[in-house]
Amino acid sequence: MSRKMVFGRYDVAACMTFMSYALCSLIIPMCLVPLAASLGFPLDDGGMSLGGALQMGRSVPMVLAMVLCGFAAGRWGKRRTMGVSILFMAVGIMAASFAPVYGLLFAALVVAGLGEGVVEGLATPFIQGLHPKEPGRYLNVTHAFWSVGVIVAVLAAGFLLYYGVSWRILVFCAGLVSVIPSLIFLLPDRNLVEHEEQIHWRDIVDKSRAIVRLPRFWLFFAAMFFVGGGEFCLTFWCASFIQLEYGGNAWVAGAGTACFAAGMFVGRMGSGFLVHQRTLKKLIVILALGSTVVSLTFPLLQSLWVLFGLLFLAGVGAGPFWPSIQSDGAVRIKGDYTMMMILFSCAGVPGSGFFATLMGVVGDWAGLRASFYLVPMCFFIVFILMTYDMLSRRDERISDSGRLQPIESTGWSARL
Tens place of pLDDT per residue across the chain (416 aa):
456 667 778 888 888 998 998 888 888 888 888 888 888 888 777 677 788 778 778 888 888 888 887 777 777 788 888 899 999 999 999 999 999 998 899 999 999 999 998 888 788 778 877 777 777 677 778 877 877 887 888 788 888 988 889 999 999 999 999 999 999 888 876 665 454 455 655 777 787 788 888 888 999 999 999 999 998 888 888 888 888 888 888 788 888 888 988 898 888 888 777 767 677 788 889 999 999 999 999 989 888 899 999 999 999 998 888 888 888 887 778 777 677 877 888 888 888 888 988 988 888 888 889 999 999 999 999 999 999 988 876 544 443 333 344 444 344 444 44
> What pLDDT does residue 406 have?
40
Q: What angle do CA 263, 54, 249 make, to 5 degrees?
A: 55
User: What CA–CA distances, in Å, run from 352 to 97, 316, 401, 410?
Assistant: 23, 19, 39, 32
The 10 Å Cβ neighbour count of residue 165 is 15
Determine the distance from the C-alpha atom of residue 186 to the mean position of all C-alpha atoms in its chain, rounded to a whole number: 23
CB atoms within 10 A of CB 391: 8
The closest of 375, 257, 245 to 301, measured between CA atoms, is 245
CA dist 307 to 50, 203, 235, 253, 405, Å? 26, 50, 14, 11, 43
- Measured CA to CA, the distance from residue 100 to residue 85 in angstroms comes to 25
SS3 label, residue 404: strand
Dihedral sign for Cα 128, 23, 31, 308, please: positive
Determine the 3-state secondary structure of 398 from DSSP.
Answer: strand
Name the residue among 51, 180, 24 with its Cα closest to residue 115: 24
Residue 219 has a pLDDT of 92
Interatomic CA distance for residues 335 and 52, integer angstroms: 35
Which residues face 201 on adjacent strands? none
User: What is residue 63's predicted lDDT score, i.e. its pLDDT?
Assistant: 84
Alpha-carbon gap, residue 221 to 224, rounded angstroms: 5
Q: Which helix (H) or strand (E) holds 141?
A: helix 135-162
Quickly count: other Cβ atoms within 10 Å of residue 308's Cβ.
Answer: 18
- Which spans in 319-336 are helix H? 321-332
Q: CB neighbours (10 Å) of residue 194? A: 13
Distance from C-alpha of 124 to C-alpha of 116, rounded to nearest angstrom: 13
